[in-house]
């Protein structure tokens, strides 16, 4: 029988040992010069420099490209960036000209951004999902995300590495590995895993290879790398940001989202990406309830008067994470929040139903994506992808049992799929998050995002210890992970999640926690 977590039980542990956490990283040496001019810059600080003429957008972009070359391609060989945009400097020059003419497109003007390489760009870059089967694939148009970033004046520096096919290939895969990009490393300790599937996005923004990165999540693929890489990750409500032009896993659960070093920067980017897209029906639900400026909800006293549920199910599995959680809860209370414990969110176990949904929707969505690439597509359907993997020596590093299982499924009219979808959504929404938040009168739910990063293992795959992403992911509801502290030199995150479209209140809470804790520390690329 699983032991119920109690704040009181762990308070003694916190008093004895909690203050020691994060003070004893394993002895190691750093393999890179971390003296980077724009290290830990915020969007506001960058814009101030542009306004004062301290530097141009070209100078900033050149500096970030040099940093990518120093950190990612040599030195520690972080492998976070799968390709660099050959047009980045030309874009910077055009944006500089606009500033000289007195025109700024807003807070994202001239901000260096990296995109996960399952997000289409219609330029000289490929979009591969990390698969060698899509090398040479050039989408026929920008994704919604790329289009909105360009309109906002961001400079797309390049694409980030990822768990191949967004970690929907093999049960024994290693997060952050792809046939195109190899293995992404954790910038804090290089033999540790960055989690995934937005591995490169999390590692790159943490390592100051960009100011903001875009990840995608089906279940944990933003919040887990945010946890492992010591950054902020926002997994929005499904439909707040269009998925058009993103290589899919699940129509029901997929969403892109920003990853940044601060809640403020992530909120700025979030506002630039929202909108109703006729090509993604889910976005119609966001009409009238999205905001182009989410920074208006950021208040340092935002915890005052909030009622927050502590989801205890992930606790009791890692004592050092539990001790950090005690500290986090005490801070929430000190800042005026009321915290109540929740042992469960949904009475039904819908893991199997969710997996069935993913298999069916992956096959349908991937085949539609391949079709949208037109005649130039290197692969035309899932069946051809499986055949490619069987003969490609690099792709054979990990099995492809998930692809094979998906290929065996029928279409989206199949009763098995419809029943699984109904079961998952009912249990996760009506009988899950909506029910518990109404019953306990909650503004949000809090839980640890995960455990410290495990050692990368190409033999046995990933070693997850704990996580809290599933309730929000299966419901399609928002989740924000922020740094919570360190365990032996490795970062750990804290997740705030809640009802659909509750980004404003979650941002208010997450910002208040961040500003009253300030746990973010840049990585040192330790070789131990």
DSSP assignment of 83-111, as one string?
EE-TTHHHHHHHHHHHHHTT----TTTT-
As a residue count, the chain comes to 528
> Which residue in the list 201, 221, 242, 517 is annotated as catalytic?
221
**Among this protein's residues, is 197 annotated catalytic?**
yes
Alpha-carbon gap, residue 415 to 420, rounded angstroms? 8
Bridge partner list, 216:
256
Is 221 catalytic? The answer is: yes
Segments of 315-456 assigned E as strands = 338-342, 444-448
CA-to-CA separations, 417 to 253, 255, 273, 297, in angstroms, rounded: 14, 20, 31, 39
Tokens read off for 339: 């915290």
DSSP state of 72: I
What is the rounded distance in angstroms from the CA atom of residue 366 to the CA atom of residue 357? 14
d(CA 200, CA 34): 18
Of the candidates 174, 178, 197, 468, the residue annotated as catalytic is 197
Type and span of the H or E element at 34: none
257 forms bridges with which residues in the sheet? 215
**How far apart are the C-alpha atoms of 205 and 4, rounded to whole Å?**
36
Let me know if 212 is exposed, middle or buried by CB neighbors in 10 A (0-12, 13-18, 19+).
buried
Cβ contacts of residue 414 below 8 Å, gap of 6+?
360
Cα 92 to Cα 58, 64, 66, 129, 265: the distances in Å are: 5, 12, 15, 26, 20
Which of 56, 116, 175, 470 does the annotation list as catalytic? Answer: 116
Vertex 359, ends 418 and 413: CA angle to 5°?
30
Distance of alpha carbon 394 from alpha carbon 389, whole angstroms: 9
Q: What CA–CA distance (Å, rounded) separates 72 from 80?
A: 6
| DSSP H or E segment with residue 256 | strand 255-260
- Give counts: helices (H), strands (E), the chain: 17, 13
Strands 444-448 and 490-497: antiparallel
- Torsion, Cα of 222, 226, 227, 229 (10° steps): 140
Say if CB 498 and CB 505 are below 8 A apart: yes
Is the Cβ–Cβ distance between 273 and 261 less than 8 Å? no
Active-site amino acid positions: 116, 197, 221
């Amino acid at each position: 029988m699983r032991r119920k977590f109690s704040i009181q039980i762990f308070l003694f542990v916190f008093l004895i040992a909690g203050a020691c956490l994060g003070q004893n990283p394993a002895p190691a040496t750093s393999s890179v010069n971390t003296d980077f001019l724009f290290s830990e810059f915020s969007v506001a600080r960058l814009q101030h420099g542009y306004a004062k003429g301290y530097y141009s957008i070209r100078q900033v972009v050149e500096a970030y490209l040099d940093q990518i070359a120093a950190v990612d391609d040599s030195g520690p060989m972080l492998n976070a960036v799968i390709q660099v945009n050959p047009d980045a400097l030309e874009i910077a020059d055009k944006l500089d000209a606009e500033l000289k003419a007195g025109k700024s497109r807003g807070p994202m003007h001239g901000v260096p951004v990296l995109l996960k390489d399952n997000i289409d760009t219609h330029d000289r870059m490929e979009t591969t999902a990390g698969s060698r089967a899509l090398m040479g694939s050039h989408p026929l148009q920008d994704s919604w995300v790329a289009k909105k970033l360009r309109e906002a004046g961001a400079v797309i520096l390049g694409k980030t590495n990822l768990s191949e096919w967004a970690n929907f290939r093999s049960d024994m895969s290693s997060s952050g590995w792809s046939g195109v990009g190899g293995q992404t490393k954790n910038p804090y300790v290089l033999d540790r895993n960055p989690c995934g599937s937005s591995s490169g996005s999390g590692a790159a923004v943490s390592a100051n290879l960009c100011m903001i990165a875009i990840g995608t999540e089906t279940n944990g693929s933003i919040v887990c790398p945010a946890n492992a890489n010591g950054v902020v990750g926002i997994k929005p409500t499904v439909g707040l940001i269009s998925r058009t032009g993103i290589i899919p896993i699940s129509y029901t659960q997929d969403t892109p989202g920003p990853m940044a070093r601060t809640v403020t920067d992530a909120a700025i980017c979030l506002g630039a990406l929202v909108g109703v897209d006729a090509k993604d029906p889910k976005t119609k639900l966001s009409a009238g309830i999205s905001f182009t400026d989410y920074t208006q909800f950021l208040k340092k006293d935002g915890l005052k008067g909030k009622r927050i549920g502590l989801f205890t199910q992930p606790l009791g599995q890692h004592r050092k994470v539990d001790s950090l959680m005690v500290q986090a809860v005490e801070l929430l209370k000190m800042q005026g929040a009321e915290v109540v414990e929740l042992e469960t969110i949904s009475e039904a176990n819908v893991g199997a139903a969710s997996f069935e949904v993913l298999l069916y929707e992956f096959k349908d969505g991937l085949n539609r994506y391949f079709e949208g690439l037109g005649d130039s597509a290197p692969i035309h359907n899932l069946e051809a992808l499986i055949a490619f993997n069987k003969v490609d020596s690099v792709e054979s590093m990990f099995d492809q049992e998930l692809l094979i299982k998906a290929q065996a499924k029928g279409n989206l009219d199949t009763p098995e799929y419809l029943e699984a979808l109904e079961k998952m959504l009912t249990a996760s929404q009506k009988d899950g998050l909506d029910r518990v938040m109404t019953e306990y009168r909650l503004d949000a739910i809090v839980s640890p995002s995960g455990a410290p990063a495990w050692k990368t293992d190409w033999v046995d795959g990933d070693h997850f210890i704990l996580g809290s992403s599933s309730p929000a992911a299966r419901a399609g509801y928002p989740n924000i992970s922020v740094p919570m502290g360190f365990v032996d030199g490795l970062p750990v995150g804290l997740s705030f999640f809640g009802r659909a479209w509750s980004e404003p209140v979650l941002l208010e809470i997450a910002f208040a926690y961040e500003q009253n804790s300030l746990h973010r520390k840049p990585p040192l690329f330790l070789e131990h």
